[in-house]
Structure 1
Amino acid sequence: MTVIVNPSAWRTAAWIGDLTLRCAAETVGQAVTWLAETYPPLRQRVLAEPDRLVSWVNVFVDGEDIRELDGLDTLLPSDNQIIMLPALAGS
């Protein structure tokens, strides 16, 4: 099972009590889609389209940025951890 770690603001917005969620997914895209479908308040926070992340979210699989891997097509062997972080901006 893949573990998805979400920021606390997202957990509050979607009424998720646990820091981590578990899902069965073969790719990052499947895991993100599962998250958006299971917790609809998160859909706009993670997906711009069914197959594209919003630009302000950084996704890491076992510490690796998916932009340096295969993006949403990154394969998830068993027991991976996905960390989703909203990008921070400021001066």
Structure 2
Amino acid sequence: MQTEIKPKVLNRLSRIEGQVRGLSRMVEEDRYCIDVLTQLQAVRAALSRVEGQVLKDHMDHCVMGAIAGDDLADRKAKASELIELLGRASR
């Protein structure tokens, strides 16, 4: 992961961690189901944004590095990783 991205990702993950702890409290306090579901959607959306940021960083740094490099095996490995990742995401 590129150095300038890492602190941003860690910061977002810390906030998401706080949101999840808040969700636990909401369930313990028997909060209204719609409120809990709304917060669950917010956590899912936040995780999706982090996932997108990490994927973009991977594309910009790791994949583009492999494409620009001379190692054919590395290029094939990076392409296979992305195909497998996208396959898991579509399930």
What TM-score range do you get, normalising by the shorter chain? Answer: under 0.3
**TM-score scaled by structure 2?**
0.23
**TM-score scaled by structure 1?**
0.23
**Greater RCO, 1 or 2 (C-alpha within 8 Å, sep 6+):** 1
Q: Work out which of the two has the higher radius of gyration on C-alpha atoms and give 1 or 2.
A: 2
Higher normalized helix content (fraction of residues): 2
Higher normalized strand content (fraction of residues): 1
